Amino acid sequence: MYFLQTMKTVRHQQACQLLHNKFVVVLGDSIQRGVYKDLVLILQSDRYLTQRQLKSKGEMSFEQDCLVEGGCLNHMNNGTEYREVRQFQSDHHLVRFYFVTRVFSQYMESIMEDFQQGLKPDVVIINSCVWDISRYNSNWLEDYQENLHRFFGELSCVLPEETLVIWNLTMPLGKSIRGGFLVSEIEHKAPQLRYDVIEANFYSGTLADAYQRDVLDLHFHFRFSLQHRTNDGVHWNAVAHRSITCLLLEHIAQAWGVLLPDPLRTVDIGDRQPLSITAPKTAAPLNYKRYTEELYSDSLPSSFLYFERGDPQLRETTVGGAGAAPKPLFPRQTPARWAKRGSNSRPPYCFEPYGDQNPPRVVRSRNERLHYAPYAQHRPRRWTPHAYY
């Protein structure tokens, strides 16, 4: 059985140019490990991950990367103390992965020390949710919120302002799930966990937004792509991971003011044959100026894609009636203003239900970041806005 899926994607050459002389850090669980692996793979070729590569953990080497700490160098287990640090380095790219089971802990503090004493990352891609809400405390909400506050606050102190931090919301879980985190002691939580993830996504996305961090709602993007979820109800296949990589790279390009072309490719997926990818003869550059209102403003967008069964349709909406100006989801304050209130102050945030209003944006970006190369030589310190590669 075959099916065709047409998707907007970023190719190997574009990814290499976009992340040229950049240091990217990925933190999180096994899903984030797949994000790291697909990013390493696209920096070397347009191939897709194999099922074996997605299932493997703690191996000594993957596609010319190296295991720095943990994994098979220590005892392999499914406990909360499991560690795995991987790194891929080429002449002009550096990508590192930390396996974490809690958004803030003593181990996370040691990672922060690595950032403070060593090379500062240009991009940090982070998600921590499923382990947090299942393995530590039955009443997870208060602990999770507190740890999120501590994590984002510490991140603001350690990383430079130019670092782009992207918080990935957790992808949809299945009705029946099994995985390394789901030990026998917490199997009774499995039926409720997919609903807890939705609640945790709301709180983590709201707090990340309050701390001026970018939010990528993978739960929203993959809510109608459940056919790409594997049989364990938790993990996803190679096509889904390549889509995540494309979403991340497109978001990074928007944040840096870089225009990426929009090649549409048809992916032919069969049961026994490998992926065949065909690029179009021409690809028109995508003008990201039309996303300015939706990505860079403090208010809700004036329109969004409404998905039902069939093709997506564009529906015009406004909050408060026709002609009314869109209302912000919650007040905005800059980190400098928080600092004036004292080191222990926290940004304002609002945990109100959406009600009849439109849901908030699924991709949020504050400002264009300086596009710089921290460990390269003889390269310009700044890039012109909306520059082409």
What is the C-alpha to C-alpha distance for residues 77 and 89, in angstroms, rounded to an integer?
Answer: 27
Which element (helix H / strand E) includes 107?
helix 106-117
pLDDT at 178: 79
Residues of the chain with pLDDT under 70: 1-8, 180-181, 184, 262-345, 348-389
Contact 355, 319 (CB under 8 A): no
pLDDT at 139: 87
pTM of the model: 0.71
Full set of structural domains in the chain with CATH: 3-289+361-381 (3.40.50.1110)
Longest dimension (CA), the chain: 62
What is the C-alpha to C-alpha distance for residues 172 and 226, in angstroms, rounded to an integer?
Answer: 8
pLDDT at 368: 52
What is the C-alpha to C-alpha distance for residues 162 and 159, in angstroms, rounded to an integer?
Answer: 8
What is the C-alpha to C-alpha distance for residues 10 and 42, in angstroms, rounded to an integer?
Answer: 9
Three-point CA angle 17, 22, 23, nearest 5°: 140
Unique residue bearing structure tokens 């802990």: 105
Helix (H, G, I), strand (E, B) or coil at 33: helix
How many residues are listed for the chain in this entry? 389
Which element (helix H / strand E) includes 164?
strand 164-168
Residues 6+ apart with CB under 8 A from 154: 104, 109, 112
What is the C-alpha to C-alpha distance for residues 325 and 248, in angstroms, rounded to an integer?
Answer: 30
Contact 76, 131 (CB under 8 A): no
